Chain A
Amino acid sequence: MTLYDKIMALYPALTQQDFLTTIRLQNDSDGRGDYIAKWEHPTLARPTEEQLA
């Protein structure tokens, strides 16, 4: 399950548009995998590491 899939499972109401505007996921292809580069959603809290584990 990708980071995107985990976030969508936590917050099913998120839309594709959210990932173009207030949320940015990134992968620098350096072996560290996907990460949250920006989380500025107006109502939903940034997921914790525990929630994403």
Chain B
Amino acid sequence: MEQLKRILRASVVLAAALGIAASAQAEEGVTDTTIKIGTMGALTGPLAGIIVPQFNGIEIVFEEANAAGGIHGRKIVFVREDDECLPSKGVGAVKKLLYEARPFMIVGGGCSNAAIAQKPEIVAAKVPWVVTAATADALSEPVDPYVYTTMSAAWTEVYGMLQLALDEKKSRIAVVWQPDAWGKARIEPLKEALKKKGVTAIAIEEVAVEPTDLTPTALKLKALNPDAVLMLLYPKAAVPFLRDSMKVGLQPLAIGGSPLVEIDQMAKGAGSVEAVKNVRVIAAAGFGVDDPQVAKWKEKIEKRFGDRFNLYHMFGIAGGQFVVEALKRAGRDLTRERILAVMSTMQMSSDAYAGPLKCTPADHQCHKTLGIFALKDGRVSGVGSTTPTR
């Protein structure tokens, strides 16, 4: 009897010890029923219009996964912090996330001005980070074990843009670009691409980030008679450019990057569909906003957030789906090592991109297939896709 009691006591103590050990080993940010995922980005400030839709896209994917019962019985809790895309606020945001909220991983972020200050903190804290829309290639190159990106690198888009011009047999290629962090991150790889293809641009023109009028630039270019213009611009600058170019009679093939994918909106801003008739856009998204492929997401976003569905939501959706899939494959025994291992060889298709998301241990830039868009019958339609190489 005494022996039995002793054994019982010992087993209870052992069970308790194992229980404590088990919960002590549970990964930070993971509980029995929840996975905490954090993000930081511009919730306020001039870049909020680009960043918040992404986060909404990520969140809508997480909410859908939660509604379907979660991932191996755990629901995702998504925590956002604001960095206004400035380093001083960004460091505060990332520290608050890492040391107060303590998420399992970070999904989002990537506004380069803040990200350059945030990356060292995240990597030092050994937290996995999936960047859903990076502007700086420096975030994902050289390869870092903790950092992945589901957004095409800057070089991918500009190589694609140049290739499109060359495929259309254009030889007098001009470039207009805006001298902010985003533009800078693209002009450098573009210059490199031009060199590699042995092409000399007939002009490389800088334009203000928020110009009211670009007639002088249009006139300057017209004098050089380009047959293609590569626009490293956001709509704020692209619309005046297209509008004023049409005004002075300059309408070459105009190739833009991701931010210009809403060609119909640009047409409205420029005042007429005529202004955008020669516009082609190489975008990280695979589909136009009205494409039936993304209709389900469009409806969900509009219902849940009241946003006008646009390509930034799509970036978030793709990133969100990537993460959900990775979490599923990592299994119930969820640790940061597991998910990093899963992501390092992951390949999957998302609803928002034309090609698969594919990562390798040597290459964490997982998104390589871009869509080509043009305005057809008043709608932005995909007219092809491309997987640029360098």
Is this pair of chains taken from one and the same complex?
no
Report A's interface with B, CB cutoff 8 A: none
Report B's interface with A, CB cutoff 8 A: none
